[in-house]
Amino acid sequence: MGIQANIEIFQTKATAMSYRSVDEEVSDLSKRFERRNTNEELNQEEKNKLKKYLEETLTESKEGHFRFNNKKPAKQALIWWDKKLNN
């Protein structure tokens, strides 16, 4: 097809981001996962899967905030295609 993928790999910092509720985190993460070039957010089925994952994964602090228990940095990858650049 001739369309080459672009990829960026980067290291994140250990974070202690916290949210007042799982729904608040679903809302925030849904925006981060929006589809590039369309600004289309996750559909309801995808949001439900994300919420289920978060409910199983997040820890609740004494203050009632929810957060990932990230004590170490992680690597993330961003992959995208740009048909305009490959013509």
Residue 31 has pLDDT above 70, yes or no: yes
Q: Would the pTM of this model clear 0.85, i.e. be above it?
A: no
Q: What angle do CA 5, 11, 13 make, to 5 degrees?
A: 145
pLDDT of residue 14: 64
The pLDDT of residue 37: 58
Question: What digits encode the pLDDT tens for the residues 42-85?
Answer: 888 988 998 998 888 888 888 888 887 666 677 788 888 877 76
- Spans of all domains in the chain: 5-86
Average pLDDT over residues 23-32: 83
